[in-house]
Amino acid sequence: MSYKAEISRDNPSCFLFLIDQSKSMSDEVSMGDGSQQMADGVADTINRWLQELSIKCAKSDGVRDYYYVGVIGYGKNVGPGFVGPLAGRELIPISEIAENPARLEERTKKVSDGAGGLVDQEVRVPVWFDPVANGGTPMCQAAGEAKRILDLWIAEHPNSFPPIVINITDGESNDGNPTERLQSLTGLSTSDGNVLLFNIHLSANPKAKSMSFLDSPGELPDAYSKMLFETASPLTPAMRGLAVEHGFDTSEDSRCFVVNADMVLLVQAIDIGTRPSNVQMDGQHAEMDDAEYEADAGEDASDVEMEDSDEPNWSGDDENPR
């Protein structure tokens, strides 16, 4: 295990999300005072994450391409999940993602009124990925597509920090046992290590027992959850450190795996799996500040602080919002 390659514009890395879009993703999950469909919660989480990553890669000369990002949906159809100008594309430089949201949506968030209370404020947030819940769960096909995409990307970036795949699902594969396909995915490697696979299983059942970053499958309830555990990659040392920051117990054998997650745990898991910590900026190695990149499940994406000189233009004032 290495996972020490610095990430720079000359040597970028990539994230590839595999998103379950089966019919069961329309099930309602509790969200504090209300509820929402799992598909909506996942879409909100992905869009917020894309906004945050765009902001973190933004400097005075524009958004720098430290990363390529892809989203593959699998349900009735299997294929690229971006909508709008990026529809149909597989792995896209983060600068192009920042420049091309499909639209800006009006949202309401709570802000301080300066007197100890809260008031509603209308904000615009960028959207790149829409919720879909239709069809079955063809995880084998999705894993095959991911391998094809990353085979090509690694050939062009052989010395990069290895790609990270985030597989988000609420159910069992219905096109066969995906073990071999998922193992072939993590069998891909750059000179810095193997592709990392993070399996995140969602549940709309409030009584389901969540388990995170286990180091053995002994406590898992069924063969399917054990398969997701066995095919998930071990946490890297950096990921283990982030998991501890979030309050999780880990060991050297802990896997990139959570089962029966709610939306809060989903956000935490994605943060642990993707938070950049070895990006080379302005010719010097620099860790991104944890407080700047903290993924708080209760905070709206529009709450993220941005410096004016570094901010992608999502105001909606321009014909082509950045």
> Does some domain include residue 35?
yes
Q: In degrees to the nearest 10, what's the CA dihedral of 56, 60, 66, 67?
A: 60
> Does some domain include residue 321?
no
Q: What is the pLDDT of residue 148?
A: 98
> Does some domain include residue 60?
yes
Residue 115 has pLDDT above 90, yes or no: no
User: Which residues span the domain enclosing 203?
Assistant: 13-310
Report the pLDDT averaged over residues 83-101.
97
Q: What is the pLDDT of residue 177?
A: 96
> Does some domain include residue 8?
no
- In three-state secondary structure terms, 288 is coil
Q: Are strands 118-127 and 164-169 parallel, antiparallel or unpaired?
A: unpaired
Q: What is the pLDDT of residue 199?
A: 98
pTM: 0.85
Neighbours of 230 (CB within 10 A): 15
Token pair 């891909």 is at which residue? 188
> Does some domain include residue 47?
yes
Q: What is the pLDDT of residue 58?
A: 93
Around 168, how many Cα atoms within 13 Å sit in the side-chain half-sphere? Answer: 26
> Does some domain include residue 5?
no
Q: Residue 122 — very low, low, confident or very high, per pLDDT cuts 50/70/90?
A: confident
Q: What is the pLDDT of residue 288?
A: 43
Q: For 256-265, write each residue's pLDDT tens digit.
A: 999 999 999 9
Number of structural domains found in the chain = 1
Q: Residue 192 — very low, low, confident or very high, per pLDDT cuts 50/70/90?
A: very high
Q: What DSSP element (H or E) covers 124?
A: strand 118-127
> Does some domain include residue 320?
no
| Three-class HEC string of 141-161 | HHHHHHHHHHHHHHHHCCCCC
Q: What is the CATH number of the domain that holds 162?
A: 3.40.50.410
> Does some domain include residue 166?
yes
